Structure 1
Amino acid sequence: MSAGARSTSRSGLARLGFGELAEAESLIAELSDAAGLTREQLTAEASVAADPDAALEALARIARRDTAAVRAVAADSRAWTALWALLGASTGFADFYLRHPEELAALVTESHTLPGADELRDSLLESVGASDGFAADGGEASWNALRVRYRRMLARIASYDLLSDSPVDEIPAVAAALADAAGAALEASLCVARTRISGGAAGVGLFPREQVAATQLAIIGMGKAGARELNYVSDVDVIFVGGADDATTEAIGPSRVVDIATRLAVQTMRGISGTEIEPPLWEVDPNLRPEGKQGALVRTLDSHLSYYDRWAKSWEFQALLKARPLAGDPELGAAYVTAVQPKIWTSAARENFVDSVQRMRERVTEHIPPEDIPYQLKLGPGGIRDIEFTVQLLQLVHGLSDDRIRQRGTLDALDALVTEGYIGRTEASTFSTDYRVLRLLEHRAQLRKLSRTHLMPARPDELRVLARATKLDETGAGVWARWEAVKREVREIHVRLFYRPLLSAVAALPAEERALSTTQAHDRLSAIGFTDPAGALRHIAALTSGLSRKATIQRHLMPVMIRWFADGVDPDYGLLAFRRLSERLGNTPWFLRMLRDSSGAAERLTHVLSGSRYVGELMEWIPESAAWLDDRDLLRPRSGVALQQEARAIQTRHDNVGDAMRSVRALRRRELLRIAMWALVDTATIEEVAQALTTITDVTIQATLRAVRREIVPAQDADLDFSVIAMGRFGGAELGFGSDADIMYVYRANSVDPQRAHALALQIVTALRHYSEDHRVPIDLDAGLRPEGRNGPMARSLASYTEYYRRWSLSWEAQALLRARGVAGSVKLIREFMALADDVRYPAVVDQQDLREIRRIKARVESERLPQGTDPARHLKLGPGSLSDVEWLVQLLQHEHAHSIPGMRTTSTIEALRAAQEAGLVPAIAADRLAEAWRLSSRLRSANTLLSGQTSDVLPVDRQRLDGIGRLLNYPPRSATQVEEDYLGVTRRSRRVFEKLFYG
């Protein structure tokens, strides 16, 4: 071929959509020679392929294996078109035809229409030679034949879909056909299962054939399979119901009936999902059954109903919203669905209705990795879940009294909601179109590799293929823009359908309609989780009434924010705190701009306000902190250097200690708020939070000491050295929210008269305690760990400490020094004090009597220090296996071994524990259990304070508060029991380790 001819040839290939032109020319030449087809015959239908290059490469691979099969398809224009469409949209089908080139013949011989439910069932049953409910053979060959036939029918559905003029309009029919195909596959697999367990050919012969035949098994489709809205590759959620007639049950016994039905269910799932020669079709997921994974795989109808009547949670009824007989015994399946219908539609009347809806939503959604959010078709904002959840919630709210909206399918339910006046026609029409678009994008993404995915492609070349496959646009950029537009539109409608009626009730409706509308708004707020809907209505009215710029922006945002508040820990408090904040900042230009333009900041604001009274109360006094939520850098805790610089600048600006300390206290409050907001919004570890809290406490004490020393110590006594030593969790840089700051005070007179030096030191101590007091966020400078405890002098000279520790020190005092750390004052004095402390806390020779004394004191602490009436198992600090156990054990090991093991000379509990592990003093699994208990106890203490704004060392019994703590620790909603079980389990294991290593 001449260069000019090649150029013309290649330009023609480019017009057909090919990208790799040289490779395409080579493959066309190869195919033309092998199949005896002209270039024009080969490429006549290439333009229908979403990815012509991939389609051509697949054709070449298949032809190398079976040229005749390709030639036969090429002779039929309809089949040739369908093949190009399939191979161009799906590498999964390319692999299928490469494994089974003989299946290409079906493209020629079978209809190109969408197969109906009966045809699908007949074809798949025929593939396993089914007769009277049994397959001809119970071996793996039947399963492989079933899978091959299923993929043949799937190809027929896909080719119809891909070649339709408007695939977005075909979504309902295609999804229904896919659901019917899944039901047919389960029916055929069940036939194989019957043969397999009854000892047919290649069967395992567990039960007599007549008993298997008499046993009923109904397979109930849930989710998208039940609603006839299935994807190309999706988990198929099912529930199994077993049974038999009275005569059979009496003859073989009810337990044997269930046993047979269970074997049938297991083998049926294996036929679909197990590993065989032909790859699995999809996952059969039976985990929506009673008790989930822990429950019996198969129950009788009576057993199901008994469970639902006695034990089921509300979400379990809502999970049945789309239940439909999918395969197996039709009468038993119909009886099951009929029996559960009343339970579904009365579930909204339960007290925990909101929880049940949220639980159901959580069951069908997964945690989205941050990097996936921009690509999530199903779970992300504006995705499929927004539409489905909106429709389901409206159905459940109104379906209690209106049976006309009790539909399984999302689109059918939308039509019913429009007809009955629950949704406006324009909104529903847009929602319906967007749902089809999202489902089409999801379908094409799954077709690409015949694999389960809900992500938009990221690569430009894959976006181009998606655009051609969906016919939504010609370019990848265009289809991405369409997807972004749909997301925004879906999110807006999702919000408006639920929450705009609330605004009309409190702000916009005429007076004569207000009473009825307010009642409706009251009910809706109650339904989504507000415990005081009347109070919420008042707050909404206050925020949105009027013609001001503030009210206008709030009216636009409030529907969204109400949803976010409802998703939070305490929606009522969150809304109240937001109203207070808005009243302080509502007319501030930057605040209005942030609310309007930064949805991320607004959502984070609702999250922190509804999740923490600690944050809400501080934000009321520091309203400008709302701006941090719009900038991740501002939200992160500031460095110690930056805080020190600000503190020193404060003291430079103020002449007297009172003014300076007011500003230092404000600095501390601001930083504590920043840390709390950061802990709630970001994934900060307990160690990171503790370090940040310790840093601001260090800076506060340092600034306070500088200020009071300047005020109290005259120039002639400037030679006096004074330092503050951090102790306990403060010394270990392990502070939590609400923690005391354990400290000791040390001074050295130098040239100052000793008595005067002591008097000045006590004055400094008094001033430190006075000026550090803060009624908003108290800081308790607790000197109870000083020598002689609360009976000893508040401050001692370095010489006095030296003499005391040499002559009279007790074992607990040496133990207390293990976490001593200098934080403020004379650096030289701190260095000398720490050298003294090292001699005491890391002795070269350990007195075994001291170790026994530490153990004795620990036992006394357990019996005497717990508050009266407190359940020891719930005390986060002193309870068995909690903070005290871990810290005392680590400190005992440090006191005994740190002299010879330098790594254990640290004030950090976890660092010392890991050093002990590396030294072989603590087994690895024991160290892990201790660290886990220490971290969880620390996190629970801080979460308890953040949630309530009050310090408590006791794990609450109240379920709502316990659930709120769990939410702050990133547990899913309604996890009170899980939080409790996790803590009790972790501390129980920690206690066993403690008792073995501490007392053993």
Structure 2
Amino acid sequence: MSLPSLATLPAALSPLAERALNDIEHALSELGASLAGWPEWRRDQLTRVLAQSYFAVEQIKRDPAMFAALLASGELERALAPGELRTQLAALVAECADEDALSKCLRRYRNRQQLRIIWRDFTRQTDLWGTCRDLSDLADASIDLALGWLHPRLCEQFGTPTGRRSGLPQQLVVLGMGKLGAFELNLSSDIDLIFAYPEGGETEGVKRSLDNQEFFTRLGQKLIKALDAITVDGFVFRTDMRLRPYGAGGPLVYSFNAMEQYYQDQGRDWERYAMIKARVVAGDQQAGKQLQEMLRPFVYRRYLDFSAIEAMRSMKQLIQQEVRRKGMSENIKLGSGGIREVEFIAQVFQLIHGGRDLALQERSLMRVLGTLRDQGYMPAKAVDELVESYHFLRYTEHALQGIDDRQTQMLPDGEQDRLRVAAIMGFADWEAFYHALGERRRRVEYHFRQVIADPDEEEGADALCIGGEWLPLWEEALEPEAAQRQLSEAGFADAEVALRRILDLKHGPQVRAMQRMGRERLDAFMPRFLAQAVEHDDPDRVLERVLPLVEKVVRRSAYLVLLTENPSALQRLLELCAASPWIAEQIARFPLLLDELLNEGRLFKPPLAPELAAELRERLTRIPEDDLEQQMEALRHFKLAHRLRVAASEIAGTLPLMKVSDYLTWLAEAILEQVLALAWRQTVAKYGTPRRADGSLCDPDFIIVGYGKVGGIELGHGSDLDLVFIHDGDSQADTDGAKPIDGAQFFARLGQRIIHLLTTQTTSGQLYEVDMRLRPSGASGLLVSSLGAFERYQQNEAWTWEHQALVRARVLVGCPRVGGAFEAIRAQVLGRERDLQALRQEVSDMRAKMRDNLGSRESAAGTAANAFEAEQPFNLKQDAGGIVDIEFMVQYAALAWSHQYPELLRYTDNIRILDGLRDHGLLTAADVGLLQEAYKAFRAAAHRQALQKQAGTVPGDQLADERRNVLRIWHELGLA
């Protein structure tokens, strides 16, 4: 659309213009300036602007010097060059000495630019998009330069925020949403912002550091104040933060991981709609680009689904409800045929098709409409009418807002303002303008109805064709014989059982109780499921393992939509369930794990330990400190999700055995870190903080020590945790709280709290089973030992088997100082010289007891003559030549020789201790290699058995060479 023509100024407005002109002449004359000698065209422009904008009149009267400078600059007659506006403002901001000066500088510059932009818009020296671009550039520069001014000053006060994982300085990323994101701001827009930062960590460079979350929250608050607060100079931009995750009730700032997790887990359709136009408007542009790539899958989904169509229809209904609200008919944005309907038409196509058509992944409305026309999504005539109507509506919006710098889209009631709007829009009177406006709105309304009604239904019909050959079977349109024949021909080994399973689901109580929408979703899902099931080598197994899951989720049919929408997620589900009944059972018990199947890259590529810990920490920061239930659920969901990822990676072969154990151990450590933090906070809140021997407060002077598999970094699927709790507080001194208790009681209750958080059953299960029997004096001993008591027990009372266990002990989480003291005690206890003959005898006797009690009775714990025959079971862990034999040899060696070679105590895992035995010549390289390969083979087999939900035994003829090698070395060490 061309610019609206300039209408003759209505006679009714002339007296207003004359009075304003006299005031302006008087104000300028006091500066030694004058309107005399102005060319007629310049005076006509001034008269027109003064007649049509209260805001312009007030700004010139309040600050005639600013107006005189603006006139002298020539900027009223020309467009600013790219970057010129930012350069001007940057020079002014650089001179600001404090926040008050920054506030004044931003507001005065904004008023000058707002006057210039309104002048050029109302005098038709620029078009719609020139005005929008100027306003957006002003917003970008104001936000970014204010942020750039505030950030270093906050760093001086609180330190530089630094990423825990990367070790790099962190900067805020500001996302501009809506019209700001698309460079489409109107004359009195507010700005919708979202704040984020790359990763968790703490500030550095000061004595008392801040968590990154807190630092950036403070920075965000200061930035909002710099932009939004109303002072004597007005405001810069009204700032709206309600589009952030959880809206006004959520944290002000989010880490990238927290943002990604929120949109994946809880993002709603309107948030997809809003995120289409998101753009990095300030802060770290490179990091912001990374964030937008992370969020792209949430906005643009690869597959069309029924829920997307349903969401579009729901949005339509919401719009229609708003239209019917009292007074909405005169709102040119929200009313029928208004601005939002044009935008909605474009975004409907973006949400439905944008995942497949990259040309629709575009912020600019005009470019999206051009794509809809050029690629045949809409008729060219319809698009042209929408474009012309949208221009008319946006020009009208600017006319309404430029009158008094007010954020309004309502048509005016007053006669003078109606005359102003008509004149700005190039019409001789209100009636002619209103008629032209009505024509445009009727066109928009017509096209809006056309877009929402049919294309969605047509796409839905296409989607129903996927797996359509199985629809008659599901709908029972086939005779049983024909149905069984179809199943048999498709690859089912037992078609009768398969059909019975399908029909049992359909007629089961869960499905019968479904509402209509859920039943429609199930009817859409089942043909797809059957079509993918028959692609597997064993469709009977797929059916057997996946149908129980389907039955579990039919009452929460959003999960069916997820699988219907994402064929790749459904495919991954079938592959994993076919490979592992353990995974099938886990997903059936906890259907929320289905969300993990959406992102293949993340599913098969778990993060490293620091990222894992940071992700959990950031998840918990979003939960109120007093909401224990949510905290416990978040911990359990985190564990379930990551345990599924490691199992999936193991099955897919993307994670080797040693990395599987590493990952499961890191997961436990990340959870224990947060459990300790929660338990400490809750116990201190109740009783106060305990004291050290010197009277200072503990912080926390407590460690959790891991023994066994977690200590040896060898956790498997379903492993429990062998833990010992140690403190170094004053057991006799009282805490400093309102309900003081002595230190011994405090730490005992802290330990109880930790166990409660780990073992309590919730809807998401428990975190871990915990075994505390390795603490001093076992089950009869104190739950938490003091550091001194632990040392005395280990030096004077512990049995040899307890020292064997100590070989695999290490600090998992807690106070570094106490952890260092524990390591020193461990090294002293294990590193003392021993009687080798007595040691061999004690280790051998303990091993014999374990075999007798825990080994396979059929083969005398693997020592019978026929132990290597296929008919005999071999217990991978307990039988002779198995895992425990290797562990006992390693522990014996560490106890026997660490007084000579203390390096043997550096590590707690068997593989690296064996490396040390080889490096010091205590075992031959060949024997070490055999033991390491045997150990890996046994553990790999145990992992496979666990994923198949089978006992840790294999036929006796399997792994025979490995077992014989282990037994030979066992005998050569004199342990027989």
Q: TM-score range by the shorter chain?
A: 0.3 to 0.5
**Structure (1/2) with the larger helix percentage:** 1
Higher relative contact order (CA 8 A, sep 6+): 2
TM-score by length of 1: 0.43
